Amino acid sequence: MDVDFGHALATCLDQVGPGRVATCGAIARALGDVRAARAVATWLVDHPDLPGAHRVVRADGRPVLHGATQLLEGERIRAVHGRVPTERIVGALRPTKFLAALRDDQNHLSAQVTERDSLGDINRIGGVDAAYDGDSMYVAAVCLDADDLTPVEIVTVRYETTFPYIPTYLAYRESPGIETTVHRLTHQPDVLLVDGHGRLHPALFGVACYVGVRLSLPTIGVAKHPLVGRVQTKRRGSEPALPIEFRGRVQGYAWIPPGRARPIFVSVGNRISLNRSLEIVRSSTRHGYPEALQLADRVCREMKRNEKREKGAAR
């Protein structure tokens, strides 16, 4: 599966010749999903040397890149009050189906998710999270003792991504780095908590599902913000959380942990039931967020800070 966003973007830019410009939205639609519009702008700012990058404008006609106005004037496009005239903006580009192919991949792999418990007793709980600095991904995978939630092992990896953040496509940005890091754990967790959604996803296949299928591990998606679904206002029986319905069935739970004002969102990743997922998240949370994910978050952020500090000292 081709997940080289830069190459796909270059294919779109090849269609915009001198004397014309394209909006981020038009390029996103050509890539296969208008939700990629912001990612197009961000990618070009981080990769300004991409051929044709100066010919990309925002919805209001302002060039994405600083200094692009001068280059456009060399192609006989004169900006008025910093905006390119609408007659210079191409209406549509030839579709590349790049993101549409990834969505098809999600829909296909979604059928491989198992929502039955494959767990016996849980001795070790894992957690994985990532921090970013441009294309650099700082990943931390941790393994905790399930009884007292003390760390058993911590592994970190710095990974270079080739895919930007695009809502609902997080797996293609994060899973390569996550898989690399989890593989380096010498103590394999019995269940892995992933900072992101599982079944609570438009394709029922968020990053927690992707990682679970790829690694053949029981995984649980835990997220701070909702993505899809409707939270039911009434609990079912003695359930401690509110069920979230999506596509005609309960796909997750909204649960407010101790010490937190807003809920977190729990869903199946792979090889585990929804009720067991909620049970594990609750039992491994002391304050605010599951211990494994809190530790992974602290470690990856510290890794990022240390590297930036070292780079600054070397100058």
Residue appearing with tokens 């992933």 = 194
Residue range(s) of every CATH 1.10.10.10 domain in the chain: 5-96
Query: What is the structure's pLDDT at 95?
Result: 96
Query: What is the structure's pLDDT at 259?
Result: 94
Query: What is the structure's pLDDT at 238?
Result: 63
Of the candidates 261, 250, 259, 268, the residue with the CA atom closest to the CA atom of residue 290: 259
Number of Cβ within 10 Å of residue 271's Cβ equals 19
Q: How many Å separate Cα 148 from the centre of its chain?
A: 30
Q: Which H helix or E strand runs over 57?
A: strand 56-57
Q: Which H helix or E strand runs over 267?
A: strand 264-270
CATH topology of domain 5-96: Arc Repressor Mutant, subunit A (1.10.10)
∠ CA 158-205-131, nearest 5°, is 20
The pTM (predicted TM-score) of the whole model is: 0.93
For CA atoms 64, 66, 67, 70, give the dihedral sign: positive
Residue appearing with tokens 């079944």 = 199
Per-residue pLDDT of the chain (315 residues; tens, 9 = 90+): 679 999 999 999 999 999 999 999 999 999 999 999 999 999 999 999 999 999 999 999 999 999 999 999 999 999 999 999 999 999 999 999 999 999 999 999 999 999 999 888 999 999 999 999 989 999 999 999 999 999 999 999 999 999 999 999 999 999 999 999 999 999 999 999 999 999 999 999 999 999 999 999 999 999 999 999 999 987 666 668 999 999 999 999 999 999 999 999 999 999 999 999 999 999 999 999 999 999 999 999 999 999 988 877 766
∠ CA 9-14-19, nearest 5°, is 120
Query: What is the structure's pLDDT at 147?
Result: 97
CATH topology of domain 109-309: archaeoglobus fulgidus dsm 4304 fold (3.30.2170)
Number of Cβ within 10 Å of residue 205's Cβ equals 28
Residue range(s) of every CATH 3.30.2170.10 domain in the chain: 109-309
Q: How far apart are CA 303 and CA 223, in angstroms?
A: 22
Q: How far apart are CA 31 and CA 24, in angstroms?
A: 10
Strands 264-270 and 230-231: unpaired
Residue 136 backbone phi and psi in degrees, to 5 = -85, 130
